[in-house]
Structure 1
Amino acid sequence: MVTDTKSMIIDISTTLFQQKGYKGVGLNEILKECKITKGSLYHHFPNGKEELLIACLDSMSRAITTDIEDIFKRSLSTREALQVMIEQLIGDFERQGTIAGYTFTSIVSEMASFSEPVRNACSDLYTKMQGIYVIKLHEDGFSKETADSLALMMTASIEGGIMLCLTQKTSEPLKTISHVLLNLLKERQ
């Protein structure tokens, strides 16, 4: 039961943090949405809200990394994997009007300068994402240096594209990024 309650707190809090940001969500709102007491929250997260946020970021990181790994393992090339991944993001945005499960850039911009543990949790996800891209780029024949550079650019472009989609309320930024990245990879192969 302990794990179920803890997982439930993480799941609900993740959604709240994604929707409202870290500072926009109070402990009382978390307690109310989770239908738990303050004692129960502190039983699972003795260091409070920041520890809960880090658990949420770790949970998101595992989910995002697993999804990206699956796409890249099934795909024959980086271009194919990138196309599948971005099409999935575009489809999610067009169906739901958001891409909540794939980004936490807003949390990074809000908290990274205030909390080293939060910054580290966010950095860890970006490092894992780039690592997945680098492996596939190596398989495609790119040198380590080129693969590292392309992986960084892919990560930054996709994250930026997600933020632009959310702020502009259109999937066009990701469509443009997909076109540019796919052409860049095609030219380099």
Structure 2
Amino acid sequence: MPPPPKHRQAIVDAAVTLFRRQGYAATGLAEITAVSGAPKGSLYHYFPAGKAAIAEAAVQEAGRRVAETVADLARAAPSAGALVKAHAGLLAGWMAKSDYRDGSPMTTVLLENAPADAAITEAGRIAHAAWRGLLAKRLAADGFPQARAERLAVLAVAALEGALLQARVEQSGAPLLAAAEEFDLLLRSGAGG
């Protein structure tokens, strides 16, 4: 069995951080190398297709992290509304900790590259589908019909992604918390069913 890749994850982690803070175009390979601590040759070893391949891996990693977080929150949340509120609270704390320099872990890359880059676009589609799928599963468990649960999951993701942008601009977690609270109120009012 070959040894695990020594620097690949460090490169992907650095790309996730840099892309969400400053975007794809503004992030150079030298900066990814510096932040990752990996030798420059590692970039080309693990990502021979270059920066776009790193971005694809970064979107996949960010999507994995989001899905893992939502799955963890779903196990503890008493309802889908509570799940979205808990996620929004985590995001608001994360944004404050970054002094509102961070953005969505996937959106900054996708806005610059989708649909022009098919691989990055597909990574984003899969990541968002996983996020929505977890929310839809929880909504269905709360009694919403499957088709309605899937539409509400789209709404929740769109609300959180949009609120992340507003939080960054306003330098406040309030948009995230407000969007989640309104989503929870929508569900509890029966308007979601």
Fold-level similarity (TM above 0.5): yes
How far 1:178 moved relative to its partner? Answer: 1.8
Q: Trace 1:1-189 onto structure 2 (pairs within 5 A).
A: 3-98=5-100, 100=102, 103-188=105-190
Q: Is 59-68 or 170-179 further displaced after alignment? A: 170-179
Q: RMSD between aligned alpha carbons?
A: 1.9
Return the offset for 1:101: 7.5
Unaligned runs of 5+ in 2: none
The alignment covers a number of residue pairs equal to 189
Say whether the 8 Å CA contact 1:75–1:81 is kept in structure 2.
yes
Q: Describe the SS at the equivalent of 2:7.
A: helix
Shift of 1:43: 0.9
TM-score (norm 1): 0.90
Query: What are the Cα deviations for residues 56-108 of structure 1, in whole angstroms up to 9, with x where unaligned?
Result: 11111111110110101222211221221112222222333238485321211
Contact 2:103 2:164 in 1 (8 A): no
Change (3 A) 1:35 1:143: closer
Q: Matched residue of 1:4: which SS?
A: coil
Q: Which moved more, 1:88-97 or 1:47-56?
A: 88-97
Alignment CA distance shift 1:34-1:142 (3 Å): closer
Measured in 2, the distance between the counterparts of 1:9 and 1:46 equals: 13
1:88 is aligned with what amino acid?
Answer: L
Q: TM-score, normalised to structure 2's length? A: 0.89
Pick closer, same or farther for the CA change 1:74–1:101 going to 2, 3 Å: farther
8 Å CA contact 1:89, 1:99 repeated in 2: no
Asked if the contact 1:164–1:173 (Cα under 8 Å) also holds between the matched residues in 2, the reply is: yes
Which moves more between the two structures, 32-41 or 79-88? 32-41
SS in 1 for 2:19: helix
Structure whose residues are more often helix by fraction: 1
User: Where do 4+ consecutive residues of structure 1 move more than 6 Å?
Assistant: none
Change in CA separation of 1:114 and 1:26 when aligned onto 2, cut-off 3 Å: same
Distance 1:75 1:185, change over 3 A: same
| Aligned-partner Cα distance in 2 for 1:155–1:116 | 22
Whole-angstrom CA distance in 2 between matches of 1:170 and 1:151:
24
Q: 2:28 and 2:98 mapped to 1: Cα distance?
A: 25
Amino acid at match of 1:11: D
Inter-CA distance 22–96: structure 2 relative to 1 (3 Å threshold): closer
Q: How far off its partner does 1:173 sit?
A: 1.2
Decide whether aligned partners of structure 1 residues 101 and 70 sit closer, same or farther in structure 2, where only a CA change above 3 A counts: farther
Letter in 2 for 1:8: A
Q: Which amino acid in 1 is paired with 2:36?
A: C
**Residue identity in the other structure for 1:4:** K
What is the percentage of aligned positions where both structures have the same residue? 25
